[in-house]
Structure 1
Amino acid sequence: MSLTPNKLKRTSMVLIGTAVTAATLAAAALPASAEENHDAPAGYSVKTFSAVGNESGPDDITRLGDSVYVSFQNGVGALGEPSATGTAASTIQQYSLDGKPGKSWQVTGKVDGLTADPARHRLLLTANEDGNSSFFALTPDAAKPLTAYTYSGLTHGGGTDAVTVTDGKILVSASHPADTTGPAAYSVDLDGTTAKLTPLFTDNASATLANGAHAGTKTTLALALTDPDSNTVVPSAAPRFKGNFMLDAQGDQQLIFAANLGTGRQSLQALTVAQPLDDTVFAAKAGQTLWITDPANNKIHAVTGPFKAGQAISTVAPDSGPTSLDTLDLRTGSLTPIKELTNIHPKGLMFTGPTQDEQRGQDTDQHGDNQNGNNQ
């Protein structure tokens, strides 16, 4: 079978050892602010800013304080294999809210998960989604910013992907499983240099149907997840699944919503969608800015427009053809392309407010301690 770019993400290659190294680089001298898109579609304002130097493949995006951080994967493979040019590290790039480049850090491997942990003023990262996976904490202002952790309890046979912080808990997706009986997501406890994993629910757990002919009934199905990917927490403004942990099973075309996660009252619902989804994010308030990474153009976009409180926006990632930005209906699972933004080829997504005070409010509402797409 020939492999499309989206399928490559879900395909292992050769297993290699991974060494954990990091080097802090000086800030790059590029344009001081984002470029205003003077051809922005009606009703929307789009500001675009570029990669720094030779970095490429922007993926996850998050905000910490008054900075935005983007992971550039630089062509590194899903198991940490060096790129065609020999690059073995991803770049974490800092930007100001107006697009001015700041510091950058090199992290060995393909950084798949990136989120902020504002309570500890740090970033949390995962590397290598298919295997050889590692976990990192990056404190931007520290003398030694990067701390590497080795996983303990990773039992599903693959790697880790998206990471979310909620109510002080760290949650990660159990990506590229060896079969459908292992954990689909874990909680993470950082102890010394060990990231201890505790399963939250399995790929074959029972879930209630959230849409379709039997939606709202007690009919349950045994999940058979093969592709746990992004995750987030649904804010209270959403019309459905408020406060639930959401796991995207991309290749399975399902969104799994977990209520009372990690407790004896935990319950799962499965929302079927028509196409594979990458990130899905939710506007906690009306008028927020949607940040989008665009690896096809090696750009980051900040979009303001008629986004409504609770609105769900998804990156649709078909097995062939370009990605698109769609509105997701949480009741039916239907997807509606945002036709005004078809020139953007999205990957990572993030909603955020314009001020730090508003950001703190969204952090508490959407992610406990954190706001991110890979979410968000």
Structure 2
Amino acid sequence: MGALGAAAWAAPPPGAPAAPRSVTAVAGYKLSVFAGAPANAAKSTKPDSILQLGDSVFVGYADALDGDGAIPGSHPPVQGRTEVIQYDLHGRMGKVFSVAGHNDGLMAYDAHTLWAMSNEDDHPVLTVIDLQSGSQAEYQPTTPLPHGGVDDMVIIKGVVYATASHHSVAPNGIVTGAPAVIAIGLNSASHTFDWKPVLASNAQVTHAVTGAAMTLNLTQPDSEAVAPNGDLIVDGVADSQLVIVHEPGTAAQSARMLPVRLYRNLWPLDDTRFAPAAKNAFLLFADTATNTLYRLDGDFVPGAAYSSGRGSVLKLDMSSGELTPVVIGLGQPNGMWFVTP
């Protein structure tokens, strides 16, 4: 794990408050609070997805809504709303955008358009926000998805890929052969989005460590990332694995499954990000349990993978799947993003 203690507590960036002593970074990294509970903390809770767009950082707050977007305890179920909050690169709060349902995925479609996906368990809703005009539009799937909801999104070569969660359809949460990844496209006239399967939850793949052929059994595809080489990275949060999809959505598509472990134990991950080449980049991550956004500075190796999961931020070896803790003592770490000032 590396030495913990006083050596880990190098001075935070100027003006940034120190992290609580119970949250500790290993030596060589500087940890500080980027932003605490927002000013409207009674409403914006449980920070999750994070992304940078220009000189702003956007954070999706899931609040206390159920995974299908319903207000807990409402009968019949009443859909609620959650927030996406804009911060500057120093953690100062700016605009607040209200979006339908339980927000769990953010994506920059272009330089001025933000996509926010809600309801990972069922009844997915996509909110498209024009940051120039401030206008918003909501989209629902043209046809029902067999698995229930939609979670995270990335864009690769102009195509938007989204993860399909598997919670609400079958008693055990698994729908054999249901898509784990879909490609989506908008129909502006009808405010719907078309979808088509890209990777099945029981697809034939290669074990990334042994090279053996195997069948996936993805029960909860969650967050997504784009690797430095353009591969699509899918996090199987309940399965302690990453699925690495090469040339997604094309005739040349292939996939590998990488099991992830900490000290030889399978370890659930929520999010994974790759360090950029910029020397002044820093890592932001959310602790949903304490409504806190943390900033981590350090000598990140360009292309190295970092993940969040089960109380920790960890460095991930993409060859072996072995994890090394970098920050410990967190409540429920979720979204991550490398920010380049």
| Alignment match, 1:373 | none
Whose helix proportion is higher, 1 or 2?
1
Amino acid at match of 1:79: D
8 Å contact 2:57–2:89 — kept in the other structure? yes
What residue number does 2:140 align with? 150
Matched-pair contact (CA < 8 Å) for 1:126–1:160: yes
Deviation of 1:83 after TM superposition, in Å, equals 4.2
Counterparts in 2 of 1:259 and 1:270: CA distance versus 1, 3 Å: same
Q: Which runs of 5+ in 1 are unaligned?
A: 1-32, 236-241, 318-322, 355-376
What's the counterpart of residue 180 of structure 2? Answer: 184
1:36 positional shift? 2.9
Deviations 1:24-63 (A, max 9, x none): xxxxxxxxx9633287855333242122312111010111
Q: What residue is the counterpart of 1:131 in the other structure?
A: 122
Q: Give secondary structure in 2 for the equivalent of 1:301.
A: strand
Matched residue, 2:284:
291
1:332 aligned partner = 320
Q: Does 1:342 align with 2:335?
A: no
What does the per-residue CA deviation read over 1:77-109, in whole Å, with 9 as the maximum and x for residues that have no partner? Answer: 001121479992111111111111111011121
* Correspondence 1:222-261 to 2 at 5 A: 222-235=215-228, 242-261=229-248
Work out whether residues 74 and 83 of structure 1, in 8 Å CA contact, stay in contact via their aligned partners in 2: no
Distance in 1 of aligned mates of 2:33 and 2:225 = 25
For residue 56 of structure 1, the aligned residue among 25, 33, 45 is 45
How far the C-alpha of 1:302 sits from its partner, in A, is 1.9
With normalisation by structure 2, the TM-score equals 0.83
For 1:108, the aligned partner's letter is A
Bigger drift between 104-113 and 343-352 goes to 343-352
CA distance in 1, matches of 2:277, 2:149: 34
Asked whether the equivalents of residues 75 and 84 of structure 1 are also in contact (C-alpha less than 8 Å), the reply is no
SS at match of 1:348: strand
Q: Which amino acid aligns with 1:75?
A: A
Once the two structures are TM-superposed, the CA of residue 254 in structure 1 deviates from its matched residue by: 1.6
Distance in 2, Cα, partners of 1:208 & 1:343: 35
Q: Distance in 2 between matches of 1:125 and 1:261?
A: 22
Question: Could you tell me whether the CA contact under 8 Å between 2:100 and 2:127 is conserved in 1?
Answer: no
Which residue of structure 1 lines up, in the alignment, with residue 204 of structure 2?
Answer: 206
**Do the aligned residues in 2 keep the contact of 1:271 with 1:333 (CA within 8 Å)?**
yes
1:37 aligns with 2:18: yes
Deviations 1:1-31 (Å, cap 9, x if unpaired)?
xxxxxxxxxxxxxxxxxxxxxxxxxxxxxxx
> Residue 65 of structure 1 aligns with which residue?
54
Provide the rounded CA distance (Å) in 1 between the counterparts of 2:110 and 2:53.
6
Q: Which residue of 2 aligns with 1:270?
A: 257
Matching residue of 2:152: 162
Q: Map 1:331-370; keep pairs closer than 5 Å.
A: 331-338=319-326, 341-345=327-331, 346-354=333-341
- Residue 172 (structure 2) aligns with: none
In 1, the alpha carbon distance for the partners of 2:215 and 2:144 equals 22
The alpha-carbon deviation at position 137 of structure 1 amounts to 0.7
Asked if residue 118 in structure 1 is aligned to residue 110 in structure 2, the reply is: yes
Following the alignment from structure 2 to structure 1, what is the Cα–Cα distance between the partners of residues 164 and 73? Answer: 27
SS of equivalent to 1:176:
coil
**CA distances 1:342-373 after superposition (whole Å, capped 9, x unpaired):** 2444210001211xxxxxxxxxxxxxxxxxxx
Q: Please, which of 291, 299, 303 is the counterpart of residue 306 of structure 1?
A: 299
* TM-score of the pair, normalised by structure 1: 0.76
Q: CA deviation at 1:147?
A: 0.8
Distance in 2 of aligned mates of 1:125 and 1:180? 27
What letter corresponds to residue 17 of structure 2 in structure 1?
E
Within 2, Cα distance between the matches of 1:267 and 1:148?
Answer: 33
**8 Å contact from structure 1 (residues 151, 194) kept in 2:** yes
- SS of 1:347's partner is strand
Check whether the contact 1:200–1:262 (CA below 8 A) recurs between aligned residues.
Answer: yes
Q: Is the 8 A contact 2:182 2:195 kept in 1?
A: yes
Tell me the secondary structure at the aligned position of residue 35 of structure 1. coil
1:320 counterpart residue number = none
Residues 156 and 230, structure 2, Cα contact 8 Å, conserved in 1: no
Residues in 2 aligned to 1:110 and 1:298: alpha-carbon distance in whole angstroms: 16
Following superposition, the deviation at residue 253 of structure 1 comes to: 1.6
SS at match of 2:270: strand
Q: Which of residues 86, 100, 107 in structure 2 aligns to 1:108?
A: 100
Report the Cα offset of residue 270 of structure 1. 0.6
What's the C-alpha RMSD, in Å, of the aligned pairs? 2.1
Q: Is the 8 A contact 2:147 2:179 kept in 1?
A: no
Distance 1:347 1:302 in 2: 13
3-state SS of paired residue (1:76): coil
- Structure 1 match to 2:193: 195
